[in-house]
Amino acid sequence: MAEVSVLASERSAMLATEPNLGVFRRCAIPRTFEELERVIRASDSVDAARPLMNLKLASQRVPSFFSALLPFLWDEGQPAPETLRPRPLLAAPGVVTLSQRECLCVLANAFFCSFTNRKSDNCVSGPDLPSINFDELYGGYGSQSVARGKLHMLFEYFERMAQRRAKGDRLDRRISFERYQAQHSTVRDWLECEAPLARPSLQAAGLSIDEAKDALRVDFANRILGGAAVAYGCVQEEIMFCLSPELIVGRLYCPAMRDDEAIVIRGAEQFSKPEGYGFDLLFGGGYEDRSPLGRDNMLTTSILAVDASDFRSRPASDQYTPALVLRELGKLWAAFPNATVPQAVATGNWGCGVFEGDVELKFLIQWMALSRAEKTMHYFPWSEKIIVQYAPAVVEALCATGTTVGECAKFLLEDLKPGKVFEQALQRGGRISYNKFS
């Protein structure tokens, strides 16, 4: 009986990642929007009341949408067995590697909403699975202009894939999705770390993490990989996933991250540029990704998805407790003992936007974790004045005395008090303090 239960569980995990190709067999290639709408609704994965107006308006801006782009997606969405082999969910530490063409097949099916076992419900398909179909992008909650902008980014990707296929490109370049779980991340492990805090590179205000193509770029993630990328989301993670749509494929295979997990995605290509941010986000045109090809037939791009603690519905003072500081350290540390990633790590105000984290605390936590991993933190403060004005003094003071990760851990895990984290760090050394409101 136990063996039958295990087999049923494995089959269920496999079904969660398989498209239902019956829609392609029951319908002809759509030639009008009305026919396309019937195909999408025929999948039974789309709420009958959901409007598809964003898709209709976005498609009108692509002259060859019905004559060329849609037939291409129709063909690519029906894979031969060797094109997209069944894979189970990546629910435990491990790796799923796909070719660029397999990613295209996944995204073509997401376009037609043919993952019938993954019905969308506010960006998820059940409690711990991300949604993968694009129906919430086609109509529903959120800014219509943002949704159309993200659809144009997806269309840019699809058109470029069509051009490459027409030129004989086999699309065999690889993309990997790697799940890691923190090891050796107890309070004692951190307190005993003798590695010095490695001097970070503080970037100028206004520069974007996305400009650091040679670095491991930190995705300020939701525990649901990609957050609301295929719905209403319009901040760092969601924008990143639409500029590089192959990242979205990770939503098909990766259940929600646990508190001690991180996900690394290697080899994804960027196809679009953004214009604006948040509710002002628009499609800013095509982008030519010049990232070199590595020896493993992957582009040398890498993303680290880590979800910070969310303090929107809990006291902000909780973030200064040892348990939550340790949680953030472990989250950032999870991938580094084993992942093949660049030495430079591009990050910024992780968890300090909508999640309401303390930017001073998160700066020190990231600095500690990356120093232990022997990585160099390239910090992009964007418009955060606290970091721009005061982080250089903190860096100079702690580096001048050779402060170790363990010494910083003692401060954060044993002596930290809520608020004014930089001032506390500096006063511990009897050096300087500051008034952030001066």
Nearest to 27 by CA among 14, 37, 16, 19: 37
Q: Annotated catalytic residue: which of 219, 307, 328, 358?
A: 219
Which DSSP letter does residue 124 get?
B
**Token digits of residue 368:** 């500690």
CB of 118 closer than 8 Å to CB of 203 = no
Rg (alpha carbons) of the chain, rounded to whole number: 23
Clarify whether 219 is annotated catalytic: yes
Count CB neighbours of 85 within 10 A: 9
Amino acid at site 132: I
Catalytic residue among 76, 159, 237, 358: 237
Question: What are the φ/ψ torsions at residue 42 (nearest 5 degrees)?
Answer: -70, -15
Handedness of CA 214, 304, 121, 47 (dihedral sign): positive
- How many Å apart are CA 236 and CA 109, to the nearest integer? 25
Distance from C-alpha of 18 to C-alpha of 9, rounded to nearest angstrom:
15
Residue 404 corresponds to which tokens in the numbers above?
């170790």
Q: How far apart are CA 36 and CA 68, in angstroms?
A: 14
Rounded to 5 degrees, what angle do the CA atoms 437, 351, 132 make? 150
Sign, Cα dihedral of 115, 238, 214, 336: negative
Q: Name the helix (H) or strand (E) containing 155.
A: helix 144-166
Selection from 29, 24, 116, 135 nearest residue 78 by Cα: 24
Catalytic annotation present for 159: no
**Do 347 and 375 form a contact (C-beta atoms < 8 A)?**
no
Catalytic site includes residue 423: no
One-letter amino acid for residue 278 of the chain: G
For residues 92 and 83, what is the distance between their CA atoms, to the nearest angstrom?
Answer: 25
Q: How far apart are CA 272 and CA 243, in angstroms?
A: 5
Q: Which candidate in 210, 238, 328, 358 is catalytic?
A: 238
The region, left, alpha or beta by phi > 0 then psi within -120 to 50, assigned to residue 278 is left
Residues that are catalytic: 219, 237-238
